Amino acid sequence: MAKRVVVDPVTRIEGHLRIEAILDDRGVIRDAISSGTMWRGLEVILQGRDPREAWAFCERICGVCTTVHALASVRSVENALKIQVPRNADHIRNIMALTQMVQDHVMHFYHLHALDWVDVVSALKADPAATATLAQKVSPDWPTASPGYFREIQATVKKFVDSGQLGIFANAYWGHPAYKMPPEANLMAVAHYLEALQWQKEIIKIHTIFGGKNPHPNYLVGGMACAISMQGDHAINIERLNQVRDLITEARRVVEGLYVPDLMAVASFYPEWTKLGGGLGNYMSYGDIPQNGIDDPAHYRFPRGIVVGRDLSHVLPVDPTDSGQVREEVAHSWYDYPQGKDALHPWEGVTKARYTGPKAPYQQLDENAKYSWLKAPRWKGLPMEVGPLARVLVGYAGGRGDFKEVVSEALGRLKLPPAALFSTMGRTAARGLETRLAVRWLAEEYDSLVANIKAGDTATANAKRWEPETWPADVKGCGFCEAPRGALGHWVHIAAGKIANYQIVVPSTWNASPKDGKGQHGAYEAALLDTPMADPERPLEILRTIHSFDPCLACASHVIGPDGRKLAEVVVR
């Protein structure tokens, strides 16, 4: 008889996600549903507001994906109003986005995903001297690799265990048979977990320098809100730029000397996970990090394109403004569409909530009915996976030398074919590979900004079309970027100077979407199929694959009281 495994909530993510997996008699997942269990309705909140302030609301969708929503939002309004931003603004925006990506990917590996592969309690059995030998082999350029250092880390972990209060390491499946790493590798990983925790708070100072704060740095329709004055005290000056340079240098040291070596080491212990979790086989990237303005996708550092059916011999074009390409369905989502409408392009999108699920608390959802607060985005009717793996595959399949370099090097070290990328471990590895590229590009964007300033250009904003009197009466715009978790799009309709409609389709809407009207699974659901589980009472295998996507449900389901009543009203004067 089929067994249903429910994981609710999925932890070590942002937001509220429920996964239900249906196992056959062999303990293999034969069906799965992904349910976003929270709704905020940000699109409804934005209607009637000034489009120049939309970014400030959108950015607060999430405290993790913070800067990217502001970027996509200002780009959508700029696209609608035909505003070209100064070169310095593009460089600063690129620096902000790449900083977010580097910090987010390192944090995801160590603090959200590594514990799916690393048995923390096993580290107590490790020999500190043998751990030091291993660490020096894995990360020869990393300074903290002495027996005494690892002995201190081991003693710290032992205090947690002996107290019975594991703190940040509580409620995990320690001792699960699916853990394969030896004690010394586990101790090394725990030590680096703690080091990365210290580092991640430093790199985001780049956001505070250019954007005033983190989370939620400041943006501006028309450019950036920061002024540049090399000798000034209240602007971006030479001292601040030198600080940014030093932070980027340290970030590169962490990525190349710690993160990527640890990632390769973990992957070497789990070769079976290069054959599990592949999922849809369809991948999409909007592209980002423009080199010649946002309207020239041919010169993006992250290329734009689509790979369908795991076919790396072709990259198909994608246009998020084409009403025949990106569309959202609600066949299994708790929303209503106008009668006769099965799918809508975001410019015509409707966000009308209608919950028809069971009364909480409930044992299970009905996969044949509506079961999620997430809509189901599709590209030409096909479900897509977005994120690091999609970006890496589009770059690799498109023949980009930088992508082929890092992919070929990693596959060579692990002695794996390109097909290994279509997997849970491939998805995890791709995140590290693109971080290698992102941290290099971060340094290059910084150099370009400094060179532009030295040439006498200090402009950071274009205010020519700031006043609503200069706007057309009725316009639409699309803003997109490649967030750490994947392709992010904001679509705005401006009429009479106000927002008439606003729709947001985020990476986790694509990946965590429910089935569509044709019964096609979303990326999470598809990736779980055919996964064997060693112990259904401890669903570690489900967490490995779901965490490999780095879910952000706060973004995807955009909070109301359980009875639908208004919780608070904020009046801005």
As annotated, the active-site residues are: 14, 62, 65, 69, 485, 508, 552, 555
Token reading at 451: 């060179």
Nearest in space to 546 (alpha carbons), one of 3, 111, 116: 116
In contact, 266 and 432? CB cutoff 8 Å = no
CA distance 101 to 91: 15
* Cα end-to-end span (Å), the chain: 61
What tokens were used for 252? 């590169």
Closest CA relative to residue 220, chosen from 548, 473, 461: 461
Residue 333 bridge partners (DSSP): 372
Distance CA 190, CA 174 (A): 13
Q: How far apart are CA 506 and CA 558, in angstroms?
A: 10
DSSP 548-559: HT--BHHHH---
CA-to-CA distance for 200 and 261, rounded, in angstroms?
Answer: 18
Give 213-282 as a 3 state SS string.
CCCCCCCECCECCCCECCCCCCCECHHHHHHHHHHHHHHHHHHHHHHHHHHHHHHHCCHHHHCCCCCCCC
* DSSP letter, residue 28: B
Structural contact between residues 187 and 123, judged by C-beta atoms closer than 8 angstroms: yes
Gap between the Cα atoms of 43 and 46, Å rounded: 5
CB atoms within 10 A of CB 213: 11
The answer to whether 91 touches 97, Cβ cutoff 8 Å, is no
Helix (H) or strand (E) holding 327: strand 326-329
Strand duo 283-285 + 326-329: pairing: unpaired
Tokens describing residue 79: 């696209």
Which residues lie below 8 Å from residue 39, measured CB to CB, with a gap of 6+? 334, 353, 373, 557, 558, 559, 560
> Tokens 């693109």 identify what position?
434
328 and 349 Cβ atoms separated by less than 8 Å: yes
Residue type, position 317, single letter? P
SS3 34: strand
Question: Is residue 530 helix, strand or coil?
Answer: coil
Phi, psi of 154 (to 5 degrees): -60, -40
CB contact at 8 A, 233 and 145: no
8 A C-beta contact, residue 350 and residue 344: yes
